[in-house]
Chains A and B, each alone.
Chain A
Amino acid sequence: MKKRIVILFALIISSLMVNAQKEYRMNKSTGHLKLNLNGIVVEGYDGKEIIFSSKNTPAEEVDQRAKGLVAIAGSGFTDNTGIGINVKENGQDIIVNNIYSNNSDRLTIKVPKGMKVSFNNNSMQYYDDVTIKNINGEIEVSTRYNKIRLENNLGPMNINSINGSVDAIFTSEIKGPISIISIYDYVDVKLLTTTKGDIELATNYGKLYAAKEFAIAVEKTEAEKTINKPIATTTTTTTTITGSTGGTANNNKSLGNQTNNNLSQTLTFGYSYNDGEKIKGKLNGGGINMIFKSINNNVYLRHQ
Chain B
Amino acid sequence: MNDQLKKFIDNNRDDFDDLEPSPEIFFRVKEELKEKNPEQKHTVSKIVFSQKWLVAASVIILLFTGYLVFKGDENIKIISEPQTVSNKKPETNVERNNQSETADQTIDQLAVSKKTVEKYKAKAFVNNEKKLDDMSAIYEQLTDSSSSSKRLAAILKIQQTGKISYDIIDKLAKTLDADNNNNVRLAALSLMGTYSEDSYISSKLINAIHTQKDPIVQLGLIELLRKADNPKLDDRLYALANDPNTFTAVKDQAYIVLLNQNKL
Q: Chain A: residues with CB nearer than 8 A to chain B?
A: 116, 138, 140, 142, 155-160, 162, 176-177, 179, 181, 183-184, 198, 204, 217, 219-225, 229, 269-271, 273, 282, 289, 291, 293, 295
Q: How far is the CA of A140 from the CA of B77 in the complex (A)?
A: 37
Chain B residue nearest to A178 (CB atoms) is B149
Residues of B within 8 A of A181 (CB): 182-183, 186, 216
Q: Of A159, A204, A270, which contacts B259 at CB under 8 A?
A: A270
Chain A residue nearest to B193 (CB atoms) is A224
Q: Of B184, B194, B215, B259, which contacts A158 at CB under 8 A?
A: B184
Q: Are A222 and B184 in contact (CB under 8 A)?
A: no
Q: Are A177 and B116 in contact (CB under 8 A)?
A: no
Residues of A within 8 A of B147 (CB): 116, 138
Shortest B180–chain A CB gap in Å is 9
Chain A residue nearest to B77 (CB atoms) is A220
What are 14 A-B contacts with C-beta separation under 8 Å?
A: A142-B182, A158-B149, A160-B186, A177-B153, A198-B160, A220-B77, A221-B81, A222-B73, A222-B76, A222-B118, A222-B121, A223-B73, A223-B116, A269-B259
Known: A157-B149, A222-B73. Is A179-B219 also a contact (CB below 8 A)? no
Q: How far is the CA of A223 from the CA of B223 in the complex (A)?
A: 17
Q: Are B76 and A229 in contact (CB under 8 A)?
A: yes
Q: Are A273 and B76 in contact (CB under 8 A)?
A: no
Interface size class of B (residues with CB under 8 A): 35 or more
Shortest A212–chain B CB gap in Å is 23
Residues of A within 8 A of B192 (CB): none
Interface majority SS on B: helix, strand, loop or mixed? helix
Say whether B148 faces chain A, with CB atoms less than 8 Å apart: yes
Q: Are A219 and B219 in contact (CB under 8 A)?
A: no
Say whether B61 faces chain A, with CB atoms less than 8 Å apart: no
Q: How far is the CA of A138 from the CA of B181 in the complex (A)?
A: 13
Q: Of B183, B223, B249, which contacts A162 at CB under 8 A?
A: B249
Q: How far is the CA of A155 from the CA of B152 in the complex (A)?
A: 13
Q: How far is the CA of A184 from the CA of B247 in the complex (A)?
A: 13
Q: Would you give the 0/1 interface string for B167-188, flagging 1 where the beta carbon is closer than 8 Å to chain A?
A: 0000000000000011110110
Residues of A within 8 A of B117 (CB): 222
Say whether B260 faces chain A, with CB atoms less than 8 Å apart: yes
Chain A residue nearest to B257 (CB atoms) is A273
* B residues 66-95 touching A (CB-CB < 8 Å): 73, 76-81
Chain A residue nearest to B119 (CB atoms) is A222
Q: Would you give the 0/1 interface string for B22-62, flagging 1 where the beta carbon is closer than 8 Å to chain A?
A: 00000000000000000000000000000000000000000
Shortest B186–chain A CB gap in Å is 6
Shortest B54–chain A CB gap in Å is 36
Known: A142-B182, A177-B153, A177-B156. Is A220-B79 also a contact (CB below 8 A)? yes
Residues of B within 8 A of A142 (CB): 181-182
Residues of B within 8 A of A282 (CB): 80
Q: Give the top 7 A-B pairs by smallest Cβ distance, nearest first.
A: A156-B149, A222-B118, A158-B183, A179-B183, A160-B182, A289-B156, A222-B117
Chain B residue nearest to A286 (CB atoms) is B80
Q: Are B260 and A273 in contact (CB under 8 A)?
A: yes
Q: Are B226 and A273 in contact (CB under 8 A)?
A: yes
Q: Are B78 and A270 in contact (CB under 8 A)?
A: no
Q: How far is the CA of A300 from the CA of B84 in the complex (A)?
A: 35
Shortest A173–chain B CB gap in Å is 16
Q: Are A222 and B78 in contact (CB under 8 A)?
A: yes
Residues of B within 8 A of A184 (CB): 249
Chain A residue nearest to B194 (CB atoms) is A224
Say whether B227 faces chain A, with CB atoms less than 8 Å apart: yes
Known: A162-B249, A229-B73, A295-B223. 14 other contacts (CB 8 A): A142-B182, A158-B181, A158-B183, A160-B182, A177-B152, A179-B183, A181-B183, A219-B79, A219-B81, A222-B116, A222-B121, A282-B80, A291-B183, A295-B219
Residues of A within 8 A of B152 (CB): 156, 158, 177, 179, 289
Q: Which of B77, B148, B181, B223 has the most A CB atoms < 10 Å from its CB?
A: B148
